[in-house]
Amino acid sequence: MKIINQIILTLLLPLVFLLLSSTHVEARKNEQAKRIEVKEVRFRSNPNYTRIVIDLSGSTAYKYHLLKEDPAIKKPPRLFIDFSNTVRGATLRQSVTINDGLLKSMRTGQFNRDTVRVVLDFESVGRYLC
């Protein structure tokens, strides 16, 4: 009887592990499906201002912060915006060159598992609205 129990246990353990693994994979897929997708970043320039548009698949919270120029690491003044509960869209560009006298470029990246960060590199900093 002990041998039969060991055989049954030996056959069932891999099956239980497989079921648990597939459940975990499904849970991760569902978790990612609930996240908002950052689909596109685009801009329009004119002599007085630059308008940045960030397209999302839904509403989400965000925070932003202006960083001063850092000559030690050759970084211009920049504004970053972190979007909560988001993932990068498959076609989202990582970098867009602007060079319009106000902005040098904008960059996007998956900052952490749940946050997409958009960074605006300034040539000159005036007033900005988020």
The ranges assigned to domains in the chain are 1-34, 37-122
Question: 37-122 has which fold?
Answer: Immunoglobulin-like (2.60.40)
Tokens of 32: 């990612």
Q: Which residue, among 106, 57, 108, 116, has the nearest Cα to 85 in the 3D structure?
A: 116
Task: Let me know: does 81 contact 118? Beta carbons within 8 Å.
Answer: yes
Task: Flag whether the pTM goes above 0.85.
Answer: no
What is the average per-residue pLDDT within 94-115? 94
Planar angle of CA 19, 22, 6, nearest 5 degrees: 25
Amino acid at 44: R
Q: How far apart are CA 116 and CA 88, in angstroms?
A: 6
**15-74 pLDDT tens trace:** 555 555 554 445 455 555 689 999 999 999 988 888 999 999 999 999 999 999 888 988
Task: Let me know: does 116 contact 88? Beta carbons within 8 Å.
Answer: yes
CA 13 to each of CA 9, 32, 43, 61, 119: distance values in angstroms, whole numbers, following the listed order: 6, 29, 55, 43, 48
Tokens of 118: 């958009």
- Pinpoint the alpha helices (H) of 34-76: none
Question: Is the pLDDT at 123 greater than 60, yes or no?
Answer: yes
Question: Is the pLDDT at 7 greater than 90, yes or no?
Answer: no
Q: Which residue, among 85, 73, 72, 68, has the nearest Cα to 122 in the 3D structure?
A: 68
For residue 15, the model assigns a pLDDT of 52
